[in-house]
Amino acid sequence: MTAPPHAPDETAGTPGTVLTDAPILAHYVRDGFVESVHRASLVAIDGSGEVLIRHGGIDSPTFPRSSLKPLQAVAMVRAGLALSPDLLALVCASHSGEPFHLEGVRRILAGAGLTVDALQNTPGMPIDDREHDRWIREGRPASSLGQNCSGKHAGMLATCVTAGWDPATYLERDHPLQRAVAETVADLAGETPAAVATDGCGAPVLAISLTGLARAFSRIASAPADTPEGTVASAIRSEPRFLGGTGRDVTTLIEGTSGLIAKDGAEGVFAVGLDDGRGVALKLAEGGGGVGGGPQRARPVIMAAALRRLAVASTAYEIVEDVPVLGHGKPVGAVVAVGV
């Protein structure tokens, strides 16, 4: 019998302990019955790097996906990128594709003498439901501008123009920009990336441990204001709508929590840094697709539970923890954190 394409023996990798050792940290409860569970690895550290909370394989490498964007933005600022806070937050964003996001991408490109034609990220539709529906009604196709990583790609292009690097080849792994990103990630995470792959948007993504990711967010969030790290942190704190979008849990968490920066990522990744040097990073073992929905539903709930355990005050918890389970269109349960 002929093996089907992508048979397990052809594609199976070796999972790290970030996946295999992940304990159950959330329940999906329907009418008092636990219908599903979510496993996750999670780490919280203080400003000295001491581990405050440990669940699962926190030292096993994983791809932070879009949670890597603030680190990439620091690399761009170190290379000379200078933008207003709203546009720098957009460089860190997995934006919702609202009109102000797309106009911001155009502004970044225009400042570098470029147009949307220079973008090389994978075409996509807006994440925001209203904008997504509007694009469909108007017959607008998926585009690189509308895809949620267009701010990062515009920032990469603008950095290339500023530094005198070839913008046409900015996605190649040996490009000066991508080498600068790799050096910055290693510096902030305090470890050498274990692997490099192609992210969903087409840019290189680097594998680091959850501890390294928490360490990087700690360093960015607590950095002096006049450093590249501090510049990125200030932009995220002052312009959270540009980092996410209307109603997004990452935006709500930043708005409601003093001194906090945060970034969500695909496959169930979430990272937080606080101005006192504490950092938190988590990864859902079952991953998940893009922002929100499916397994991603447990991500903000688990993060809020970790921040509560760290006694971080926030007005956002009740909002980001509100992940109802529906029955006949009405709430009959919820996603709840357990054992964090």
**Calpha distance 44→212 (Å, rounded):** 11
In a domain, 139, yes or no: yes
Is 254 within the bounds of a domain?
yes
**pLDDT tens-digit map of 69-121:** 999 999 999 999 999 999 999 999 999 999 999 999 999 999 999 999 999 99
Instruction: State the Cα–Cα distance between residues 249 and 235, nearest whole angstrom.
Output: 18
Cα torsion for 11, 14, 16, 22, to the nearest 10°?
70
Contact, 248 vs 316, CB < 8 A? no
* Surface-to-core class of residue 163, CB atoms within 10 Å of its CB (0-12 exposed, 13-18 middle, 19+ buried): middle
Percent of the chain at pLDDT > 70 equals: 94
Structural domain contains residue 218? yes
Kindly tell me if the per-residue pLDDT of 164 is higher than 70. yes
pLDDT at 14: 80
Across all residues in the chain, what is the average pLDDT?
95
Do the domain assignments include residue 1? Answer: no
> Considering the domain boundaries, does residue 260 fall inside one?
yes
**Sequence-separated (6 or more) residues with CB below 8 Å from residue 162:** 79, 80, 81, 82, 112
Q: What is the DSSP string of 279-296?
A: EEEEEETT--SSSSSGGG
Please report which residue ranges of 38-115 form alpha helices under DSSP H.
69-78, 85-91, 99-111
Domain region containing 165: 15-337
In a domain, 10, yes or no: no
The number of folded domains in the chain is 1
The H-or-E segment that residue 214 falls in is: helix 210-221
Confidence of residue 2 (pLDDT cuts 50, 70, 90): very low
Residue in the structure block whose two tokens are 């409860």: 29
> Is position 4 within any domain?
no
pLDDT band, residue 1 (cuts 50/70/90) = very low
Q: For 172-188, what is the mean pLDDT?
A: 98
What's the burial of 325, exposed, middle or buried (CB within 10 Å: 0-12/13-18/19+)?
middle
List phi, psi (to 5°) of 327: -135, 120
CATH number at residue 91: 3.40.710
- Answer whether residue 6 is part of any domain: no
